[in-house]
Chain A
């Protein structure tokens, strides 16, 4: 019995020390699902089963009056799918999608077919964890292609969300045709 009392104190002290030192939940891990971006596949209008590359695809967002290229879609490569971040402090986000983008020596856009899309939705904030805080999920997402005289995006966007909110990046949310 005397030995039991001597063992209890170091055992409890060890548990105490381990508990206060291992604070893994102060870091938001990459694997934690947080606010999703919208995933769009670009499909062939004539053969709507196949992905079709859009050459020299440039995606532009307007930030405080300035036109900024979305990283990863800067007009120097062909892409067949888009990952578009949505604004979490407004209920709509607009992007200009440019095909066959051409630049001058000062990186100004001088050529290419520009199509404007407006994405509207309603937002809900959901708690994730102590380290990550809250994420936004997007409900009732609608993509509208603004008509101009020469759209390269053809037809209507196909909604794959099945009336579910956009809350993760596991599957494609929309298809666009060209």
Chain B
């Protein structure tokens, strides 16, 4: 062979061998790094208090209430959750003055839709609840409505009447997020869309407000609410992600 061809051939072979060897080396190092990293997620019971309701109790004269929520992680993105609370609300307008008080219980599931990086433990979740409430209305006073005001004032009731033993059931769809602020301390925010399933009707009156559900509407059985929570997780065990 000619000397020029031999040189070209030799240099090409050298380059090919060099490059293939270096590529091989890079592949090996990547595989090693992935194998050694294991991420653990915390599992345990998280207890939260609804501080939005506490704030409202101080700011709103007509309202006192509190809610405690708990959730327990079953799988990486699947939680069972429940809330228990009590509320007292005074509803007044020109013709009616009612105080409603009672307690409620909600139970359901939360599904985390957020993909946490590394060992972060935040949630953006959608959930479902079934709610039940037991409550009492105190109708403090009412005034008769008359479009003809010739004989004013109209009749106004003097004594308070109590409607007790009332119950209501509803289903709820929740959208929210929970963020880990410090070690095991979580802050949550959620909005709730509720559909009233059944309620006991008081005699010659109606349920203007249901604790846990909110105010009722004449035209629809849909209600809404929101929550602002602060909670702490009691870590029971850790599992691989």
| Inter-chain CB contacts under 8 Å: number | 107
B58 at the interface (CB under 8 A from A): no
Choose among B113, B147, B217 the residue that contacts A5 (Cβ–Cβ < 8 A): B113
Give the residues in chain A near B157, CB-CB below 8 Å: 125
The interface bits of chain B over 118-161 (1 if a CB of A lies within 8 angstroms of the residue's CB, else 0) are 00000000100000000000000011111110110111110000
B222 at the interface (CB under 8 A from A): yes
Q: Is chain A's binding surface mostly helix, strand, loop or mixed?
A: mixed
The interface bits of chain A over 76-118 (1 if a CB of B lies within 8 angstroms of the residue's CB, else 0) are 0000000101111100010000000000000000000000000
A129 at the interface (CB under 8 A from B): yes
Give CA–CA (A87, B197) in the complex, Å: 40
Total residues of chain A contacting the partner, CB 8 A: 43
Chain A nearest Cβ from B168, distance in angstroms: 16
Choose among A71, A83, A130, A136 the residue that contacts B146 (Cβ–Cβ < 8 A): A136
Choose among B146, B147, B148, B224 the residue that contacts A16 (Cβ–Cβ < 8 A): B224
Give the residues in chain A near B151, CB-CB below 8 Å: 61, 63, 85-89, 93
B146 touches A88 (CB 8 A): yes
Given contacts A16-B224, A19-B220, A20-B224, are A128 and B145 in contact (CB under 8 A)? yes
Give CA–CA (A71, B152) in the complex, Å: 14
B144 touches A125 (CB 8 A): yes
Q: Is chain B's binding surface mostly helix, strand, loop or mixed?
A: loop
Give CA–CA (A129, B142) in the complex, Å: 12
Query: Chain B interface residue count: which class?
Result: 35 or more
Choose among B142, B147, B155, B193 the residue that contacts A12 (Cβ–Cβ < 8 A): B193
Give CA–CA (A130, B208) in the complex, Å: 7
Chain A nearest Cβ from B75, distance in angstroms: 17
Give CA–CA (A83, B113) in the complex, Å: 65
Closest chain A residue to B153, Cβ basis:
A89
Chain B nearest Cβ from A159, distance in angstroms: 22
Choose among B93, B144, B217, B218 the residue that contacts A134 (Cβ–Cβ < 8 A): B144
Given contacts A34-B145, A123-B155, A125-B157, are A61 and B113 in contact (CB under 8 A)? no
The interface bits of chain B over 214-239 (1 if a CB of A lies within 8 angstroms of the residue's CB, else 0) are 00011110111000000000000000
A61 touches B150 (CB 8 A): yes
Chain A nearest Cβ from B83, distance in angstroms: 19
Chain B nearest Cβ from A148, distance in angstroms: 24
Shortest beta-carbon contacts, A-B, top 6: A133-B95, A85-B148, A25-B218, A88-B155, A35-B146, A89-B155
B205 at the interface (CB under 8 A from A): yes
Closest chain A residue to B114, Cβ basis:
A5
Closest chain B residue to A136, Cβ basis:
B144
A130 touches B206 (CB 8 A): yes
The interface bits of chain B over 155-186 (1 if a CB of A lies within 8 angstroms of the residue's CB, else 0) are 11100000000000000010100000000000
B191 at the interface (CB under 8 A from A): yes
Give CA–CA (A87, B126) in the complex, Å: 56
Give the interface centre of B191, B219, B224 by most chain A CB atoms within 10 Å: B224
Give CA–CA (A161, B91) in the complex, Å: 37
Give CA–CA (A68, B53) in the complex, Å: 53
